[in-house]
Amino acid sequence: MSDPNSPTPAPGNQPPAPQPAYGEYAPPAPPAADSAPAYAAPAYQAAPAYSAGPAANGSYPGKTLGIVALVLAIVPVGLQLVGLILGIVALVQSRKAGQKNGIALAAIIVSGVLLVLTIIGIILAVALFNAAGGADLVNQVNACLNDPTGNVVVNGITVTCEEILEQSGR
């Protein structure tokens, strides 16, 4: 504790440093005795580097998943979207390990192409159905449901509504 009558303060009780005037820079504060220097090593250790090369048996991450993705992309069951997603996952896994994965890349390409062809096929099937009078037949069946005793023209042929309703199962 310091003496109020003594002009010199105790070593632990230093007066605050004067504040700089507006527009002036404050001098750098002296480092505390218990602080570490700015160039000191970090308190934690660095992560170990991945030094392992490819496995002796030729396997790498994503290889099996790439094969599964390619099989799903080729199988004509409509699993091209699943094959595309698994191919992307397999390729990412391989790239993280620093390996190339041609099988996963092939799965991505094959499933993408087959997915686009499937969508084009669906669009063409709907267009051909409408062009062949499929939509006209649907309209005629709906007209017969409203008036079952009349006649309708389907593809240039006059047919009774009873025949149309009987063939459509209504």
Tell me the whole-structure pTM to 2 decimals. 0.48
| Helices 63-74, 102-131: crossing angle, 10 deg rounding | 20
pLDDT (tens digit per residue) in 27-71: 666 666 666 566 666 666 766 665 555 566 667 788 889 999 999
Q: Look up residue 4 and give its amino acid.
A: P
Distances (CA, A) of 9 to 3, 19, 122, 135: 8, 19, 91, 101
pLDDT (tens digit per residue) in 66-119: 999 999 988 877 888 889 999 999 999 888 888 888 999 999 999 999 999 989
Query: Residue 110's pLDDT is what?
Result: 93
pLDDT (tens digit per residue) in 12-32: 667 676 777 776 776 666 666
